[in-house]
């Protein structure tokens, strides 16, 4: 639905590049099934956290990030 400015800057994408994309489409999870599984975990536990989640920047560089999401 949206993307925060920090992730845009960190990965080299514009807000428009990320706006409306599914998490798996921007590399947050490897595929749609993994994305659905993480979303289900988030719904059940009300939070999800990854301490070392590798994301790929627009230029192809791998950036290791911490991701925390809460409902």
pLDDT at residue 44, rounded to an integer: 95
- Residue 32 sits at φ, ψ, to 5 deg, of -65, -40
Mapped onto helix, strand or coil, the DSSP state of residue 14 is coil
What is the residue range of 37's domain? 5-70
Considering its fold, how many domains does the chain have in total? 1
pLDDT at residue 69, rounded to an integer: 86
What is the value of pTM for the model shown?
A: 0.63
For residue 41, the domain's CATH number is 3.30.450.20
Q: What is the pLDDT of residues 16-53, one digit of tens each?
A: 988 888 777 776 666 778 778 888 998 999 998 988 88
Tally of CA atoms within 13 A in the half-sphere of 64 that contains its CB: 2
């Amino acid at each position: 639905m949206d993307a925060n400015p920090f992730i845009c800057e960190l990965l080299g994408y514009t807000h428009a590049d990320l706006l409306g994309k599914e998490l798996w489409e921007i590399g947050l999870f490897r595929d749609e099934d993994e994305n659905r599984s993480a979303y289900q975990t988030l719904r059940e536990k009300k939070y999800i956290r990854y301490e070392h989640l590798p994301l790929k920047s627009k230029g192809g560089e791998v950036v290791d990030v911490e991701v925390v999401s809460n409902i």
